[in-house]
Chain A
Amino acid sequence: MYAQMIKSTGEGVKSLDDMEPDERAFQERINAGGKIEPKDWMPEGYRKNLIRQIGQHAHSEIVGQLPEGNWITRAPTLERKAILLAKVQDEAGHGLYLYCAAETLGVTRDQLTRDLLSGKMKYSSIFNYPTLTWADMGAVGWLVDGAAIMNQVPLQRTSYGPYARAMVRICKEESFHQRQGFDIMMKMAKGTEAQRKMAQDALNRFWYPSLMMFGPSDAESVHSAQSMAWKIKMNSNDELRQKFVDQTAPQAEYLGLTIPDENLKFNEETGHYEFSEPDWDEFFDVLKGNGPCNTERLEDRNRAWNEGRWVREGLLAHAEKKRKTAIAAE
């Protein structure tokens, strides 16, 4: 997902009886559906895990602007350009909502930024794939935002208050993102033969990377078990991936496009689609930094940060000067 492979304490889930009173009260509050707020007591593992998870989610929103930003100046019509611009601006907003949630846990914005720019913190693997044609704007909105929604909707109920509230804002804006993507796909799929081919090609390239967004199966993972006990992860990776395929396969059919998986078929008995796993070696390779665009993405973010430095410092100096003149005038 936007946060992939988050490692918790690795110690496994403690039973209520094994907990000290503080931790027990904390866990009981979560079990009862209560929210944890910034000033409440929390285990260090919960805090650290959340900083990693929310931080990685925020970085994904920010880096996620790059593949779509690539097409703003080349959108086919003025209307499409305005829509794409609004969508990308939303993603910047999502990043900011999430950074401010992470900051309530005691990490600074600058620290999170430094960790992104140095490669210490990750962002979702999906944004290391290139956007080669206009149809990719359709595929990204439809599939990538669609997959993100699967994960973000349940996170509105996550135990950490500021994170849950950020997710509520984000979810309100996401369905616009998915719909504008599907709208592009409809136009292309029902357009000329060349357009239909572009749409099919975009689906071919984005299908498996979208399935990878959910991460490898975590049925056996102690990290996931702990995160689920803390309610900072609401569903298993396989569960969400299945839901995504079940929702998306009929949509592809509606478009008259073929999902690039010969094993894809509806199982009448289970009521679910059967499908092929993505190539997990590729996934781990992309996470390690060897995807088609990893270097470019990090370079772009570093350049933006470095070239924006004079603006950050200049505005701060200006604010300081104004403050001093105001004091002098009193």
Chain B
Amino acid sequence: MSSPESSPYSDTDAAPHGKARATEWPLWEIFIRGQHGLSHRHVGSLHAADAESAIKNARDVYTRRNEGVSIWAVPASAIAASSPEEKGALYEPANDKVYRHPTFFDIPDEVGAM
């Protein structure tokens, strides 16, 4: 199995993605909420010594053109992620429940908009 965690690039200080190395500022994942009321969206990551400077750096790196009105900075090491291998087990329960979609039901035209 090949993944960033198990096969570091040659002569890299081995450390899981997102963990701070001896000389590196920790990695933060940045989420931005735009002007139009949508949820915060992941835009990328950056390095910063602490949360306060992560937000300041995020302003400079990710909102140079008014892309957002709110910034979240989350330590990358604090993010739990689903793994691609469990895709089947995780999403299959939803696959056989087609009745969750409105198009499952045939409503006669005379009934009007529904």
Q: Which chain A residues have a beta carbon within 8 Å of chain B's beta carbons? A: 37-44, 47-48, 51, 86, 89-90, 93, 96-97, 100-101, 103-111, 165-166, 169, 173, 312, 315-316, 318-319, 322-323
Tell me if A109 and B47 are in contact (CB < 8 A).
Answer: yes
For A89, what are the chain B residues with a Cβ–Cβ distance below 8 Å? 60, 64
Q: Are B7 and A37 in contact (CB under 8 A)?
A: no
Given contacts A44-B2, A100-B44, A100-B46, 11 further A-B contacts (CB under 8 A): A39-B4, A40-B84, A41-B3, A86-B64, A93-B64, A103-B27, A106-B12, A108-B12, A169-B44, A312-B25, A318-B50
- Neighbouring A residues of B46 by C-beta, 8 Å: 96, 100
Interface size band for B: 20 to 34
Contact A318 B17 (CB under 8 A): no
**Assuming the A-B contacts A166-B44, A319-B50, A322-B50, are A106 and B8 also in contact, with contact meaning beta carbons closer than 8 angstroms in the complex?**
yes
Query: What are 19 A-B pairs with beta-carbon distances under 8 A?
Result: A39-B81, A39-B84, A41-B1, A89-B64, A93-B61, A106-B4, A106-B8, A108-B15, A108-B24, A110-B13, A110-B23, A165-B44, A166-B44, A173-B65, A312-B23, A312-B25, A315-B25, A315-B49, A319-B49
| Interface, chain B (partner A; CB < 8 A) | 1-5, 7-9, 11-13, 15, 17, 21, 23-25, 27, 43-47, 49-50, 53, 60-61, 64-65, 81, 83-84
User: Are the C-beta atoms of B9 and A103 separated by less than 8 Å?
Assistant: no
Nearest CB in chain A: distance from B91 CB, A: 15
Residues of chain A within 8 A (CB-CB) of B81 are 39
**Interface of B: prevailing SS:** loop
Report the bound CA distance from A3 to B29 in whole Å. Answer: 26
Q: In the docked arrangement, what's the CA distance between A43 and B61, Å?
A: 31
Contact status A315-B53, CB under 8 Å: yes
Q: Which of B5, B23, B65 contacts A106 (CB 8 A)?
A: B5
Check B84–A37 contact: CB distance below 8 A. yes
